[in-house]
């Protein structure tokens, strides 16, 4: 009896107290709150589930009625088809996207932090005019300058090359703006102390400023990574050769070849967004904080 | 000795030198890829310019690419196919932007308020999920939603047929309209909302966290209900966030390209989803009429500037808390 009774009371306590605590306060309003939020979550997740599910379905299950969200029979056929297609050098496209993204992120982090440092901690003639100029370039949408920018690349002879994707993206007005805001918060006394100790100006940037900018660099780096990895319009204009395509361009090209095979296009989409989703789950704290702080996309 | 006592001002000279040496190349580089194209872009609006024709003189402006004065601008208002196509694109862009802004606010602001009201662990779960679509490549978004809207194997039509209804040709039906808005345009609006709402939810949540609790507590003491607290405390105190969100949302909705290029297959059906950015791309890079395309780009630039200024003026914040 005692042996039997004890777990029962325990059970009663654990199941009893938890709902009682909230149960008293669960109002119709709170039920509605969770209902609305759940509907929103379904709206947000269904396309992802549909994409994943379809990519693992067989060609016959795709058109089955009623539709299945989770495939009845998981098959890797669509992924294997993409991997084994000699006309789709997937490794090449991944490499192109990685080269372009990595180059731009590295250069933007370097130029933005250096210029941000100078704007934040140095006094010189024309500083405000220059900074206003940077803010002004932030206001010009890319679509307005893309035509002449393409003409610039034609003159430089770097159209249809990865260089043409990288070179115009090496600096970022937004990056300089963001880094300046952050570096202004670093006390100038630290810099003065380093100067008295005989540090060079570049040494101050490299040894004093950079080590303190971890979170700001991570935030800017993630934004730049997402923007470059997902960019479509600029590669669409610049790249014409198949081997120089980046992943988003590969995706629309693949869709134009296999538009009626949803399993294939969805598998290709999964392969393109997978790296960025993984990175998002690792770095989402920085992304969310960065947007909350700067408000920019 | 000379080293130990530096001359007056050498420290400042050293700092000036560093600022000059680092900033000059960065600024020159940046201006070369922003301001030079901006000026060049204005310049070619006065020419009938195509890179396929070998021009002569400065920047190939001249010869086969003749100076046409303001004819490119007049073309936008003329009763020619190019003029009509421009006006259709402008109209569609206006429809899209003016519908998208209220649609976005009606969804994101309440969602942000609701997410802020739940306990912190569930809050970060909701935020993580709601933000997920914004990191997804716009091309993948277009393809996934294209499959959802697909007439034969799309989720929507499979679902509708399972319930005994007929399906729709969601993205290619030029005739069906809801409240006068073409069905394909509504489909793009819903997809864009899906891919974009995470940003505004996060920004609104940050704004809500900035409102001191005491105001709400005082209102509760005074017997205000949840709606009254939202209407008379949250909304006024959220004004600067709201201004910012409205301007940014409007700006980005003018610039949507991929959805209209991929999902509705270059502004189809019957140009019902042809927008300005798509029109600029097609004119410049498909038909190689870059002078005309640059003119449309200038119009887009002007519209963006004007709407931004109007919104900033209308919603100017005149007090602090």
What is the per-residue pLDDT for B317?
57
Q: Is B309 on the interface with A (CB under 8 A)?
A: no
Size of interface A-B (CB pairs under 8 A): 252
Q: List the single residue in B with minimal CA-CA distance to A282.
A: B128
User: Which of A24, A53, A11, A34 lies closest to A266, judged by CA?
Assistant: A53
Helices (H), A140-172: 142-156, 162-166
Mutate to test the interface with B, among A151, A205, A280, A286 (most CBs of B within 10 A): A151
CB A81 within 8 A of CB A264: yes
Report the number of distinct structural domains present in chain A. Answer: 1
**Which residue range(s) make up the domain with A132?**
90-247
In a domain, A58, yes or no: no
Contact B202 A41 (CB under 8 A): no
Range ranked top by mean pLDDT from A81-85, A133-137, B101-105, B235-239: B101-105
In a domain, A172, yes or no: yes
Q: What is the CATH number of domain B84-314?
A: 1.10.3720.10
Q: Which long-range contacts (CB under 8 A, 24 or more apart) does B284-289 make?
A: B284/A146, B284/A147, B284/A150, B285/A150, B285/A237, B288/B50, B288/B51, B288/B52, B289/B48, B289/B49, B289/B50
User: Which of A185, A194, A173, A198 lies closest to A121, judged by CA?
Assistant: A185
What gap in Å lies between CA A282 and CA B199, rounded to an integer? 18
- Please return the burial class of B150, using the count of CB atoms within 10 Å of its CB with bins 0-12, 13-18 and 19+: buried
Q: Which CATH number belongs to the domain containing residue A167 in this structure?
A: 1.10.3720.10
List, for chain B, all residue ranges whose pLDDT scores fall below the cut of 50: 1-6, 319, 321
Q: Is A111 on the interface with B (CB under 8 A)?
A: yes
What gap in Å lies between CA A266 and CA A284, rounded to an integer? 24
What gap in Å lies between CA B167 and CA B151, rounded to an integer? 7
Beta pairing partners, B177: B182
* Residue B182: its H or E element: strand B181-182
Residue A11 predicted with pLDDT over 70: no
Phi/psi for B182 (5° steps) reads -60, 140
User: pLDDT-based confidence at A274, cuts 50/70/90?
Assistant: very high
Chain A residues whose CB is inside 8 A of the B113 CB are none
Chain B residues whose CB is inside 8 A of the A45 CB are 129
* Residue B217: its H or E element: helix B213-221
Residue A93 predicted with pLDDT over 50: yes
pLDDT tens, residue by residue, A203-261: 999 998 999 888 889 889 988 999 999 999 999 999 999 899 999 999 999 998 887 78
What gap in Å lies between CA A228 and CA A222, rounded to an integer? 10
CB B137 within 8 A of CB A227: no
Domain ranges of chain B: 84-314
Helix (H, G, I), strand (E, B) or coil at B174: coil
Residue A13 predicted with pLDDT over 50: no
What is the per-residue pLDDT for A116?
95
**Does residue B319 or residue A288 have the better pLDDT?**
A288
Q: Which long-range contacts (CB under 8 A, 24 or more apart) does B147-151 make?
A: B147/A50, B147/A51, B147/A54, B147/A262, B147/A265, B147/A266, B148/A46, B148/A47, B148/A50, B149/B187, B149/B263, B150/A262
CB B171 within 8 A of CB B291: no
What is the per-residue pLDDT for A5?
37
In a domain, A4, yes or no: no
In a domain, A123, yes or no: yes
Contact B144 A272 (CB under 8 A): no
What is the per-residue pLDDT for A115?
96
Query: And the tokens for B206?
Result: 């940050």
In a domain, A218, yes or no: yes
What is the per-residue pLDDT for B213?
84
Q: Which of residues 163-182 of A touch B (CB under 8 A)?
A: 167-168, 170-171, 173, 176
Question: Which member of A140, A233, A287 has the closest CB to residue B34?
Answer: A140
Contacts of B173 (CB under 8 A, 6+ apart): B183, B184, B269
In a domain, A59, yes or no: no
User: pLDDT-based confidence at A20, cuts 50/70/90?
Assistant: very low
Q: Tell me if the bond preceding B269 is cis, omega within 30° of 0.
A: yes
């Amino acid at each position: 009896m005692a042996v039997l009774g004890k777990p029962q009371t325990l059970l009663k306590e654990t199941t009893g107290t938890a709902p009682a605590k909230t149960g008293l306060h669960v109002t119709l309003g709170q039920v509605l709150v969770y209902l609305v939020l759940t509907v929103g979550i379904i709206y947000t997740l269904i396309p992802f589930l549909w994409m994943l599910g379809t990519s693992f379905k067989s060609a016959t299950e795709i058109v089955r009625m009623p539709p299945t969200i989770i495939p009845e029979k998981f098959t890797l056929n669509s992924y294997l088809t993409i991997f084994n297609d000699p006309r789709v050098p997937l490794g090449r496209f991944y490499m192109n996207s990685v080269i372009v993204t990595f180059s731009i992120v590295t250069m933007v982090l370097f130029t933005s932090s250096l210029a941000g440092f100078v704007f934040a901690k140095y006094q010189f003639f024309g500083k405000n005019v220059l900074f206003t100029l940077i803010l002004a370039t932030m206001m010009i949408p890319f679509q307005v300058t893309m035509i002449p920018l393409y003409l610039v690349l034609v003159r430089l002879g770097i159209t249809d090359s990865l260089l043409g994707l990288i070179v115009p993206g090496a600096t970022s007005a937004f990056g300089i703006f963001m880094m300046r805001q952050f570096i202004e918060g670093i006390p100038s006394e630290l810099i003065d102390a380093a100067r008295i100790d005989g540090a060079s100006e570049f040494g101050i940037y490299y040894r004093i400023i950079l080590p303190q900018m971890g979170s700001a660099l991570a935030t800017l780096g993630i934004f730049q990574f997402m923007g470059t990895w997902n960019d479509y319009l600029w590669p669409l204009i610049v790249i014409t050769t198949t081997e120089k395509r980046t992943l988003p361009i590969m995706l629309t090209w693949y869709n134009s070849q296999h538009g009626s095979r949803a399993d294939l296009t969805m598998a290709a989409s999964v392969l393109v967004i997978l790296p960025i989703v993984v990175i998002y789950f690792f770095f989402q704290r920085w992304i969310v904080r960065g947007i909350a702080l700067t408000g920019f996309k | 000795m000379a080293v130990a006592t530096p001359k007056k001002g050498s420290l400042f000279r050293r700092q000036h030198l560093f600022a000059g040496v680092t900033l000059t190349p960065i600024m020159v580089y940046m201006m070369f890829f922003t301001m030079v194209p901006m000026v060049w872009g204005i310049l070619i609006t006065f020419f009938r310019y195509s890179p396929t024709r070998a021009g002569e003189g400065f920047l190939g402006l001249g010869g086969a690419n003749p100076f046409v004065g303001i004819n490119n601008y007049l073309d936008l208002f003329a009763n020619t196919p190019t003029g009509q196509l421009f006006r259709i694109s402008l109209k569609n862009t206006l429809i899209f932007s003016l519908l998208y802004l209220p649609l976005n606010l009606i969804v994101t602001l309440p969602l942000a308020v609701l997410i802020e009201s739940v306990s912190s662990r569930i809050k970060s779960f909701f935020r993580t999920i709601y933000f997920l679509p914004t990191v997804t490549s716009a091309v993948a978004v277009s393809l996934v939603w294209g499959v959802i809207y697909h007439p034969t194997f799309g989720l929507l039509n499979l679902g509708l047929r399972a319930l005994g209804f007929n399906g729709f040709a969601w993205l290619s039906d030029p005739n069906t309209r809801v409240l006068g808005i073409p069905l394909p345009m509504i489909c793009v609006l819903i997809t864009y909302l899906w891919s974009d709402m995470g940003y505004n939810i996060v920004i609104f949540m940050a704004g809500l966290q900035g409102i001191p609790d005491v105001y709400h507590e005082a209102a509760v003491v005074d017997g205000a209900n949840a709606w009254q607290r939202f209407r008379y405390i949250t909304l006024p105190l959220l004004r600067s966030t709201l201004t910012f969100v409205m301007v940014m949302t409007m700006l980005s909705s003018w610039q949507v390209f991929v959805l209209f290029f991929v999902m509705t297959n270059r502004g189809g059906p019957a140009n019902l989803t042809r927008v300005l950015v798509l029109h600029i791309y097609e004119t410049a890079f498909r038909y190689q009429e870059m002078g005309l395309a640059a003119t449309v780009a200038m119009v887009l630039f002007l519209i963006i500037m004007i709407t931004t200024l109007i919104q900033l003026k209308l919603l100017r914040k005149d007090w602090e808390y």
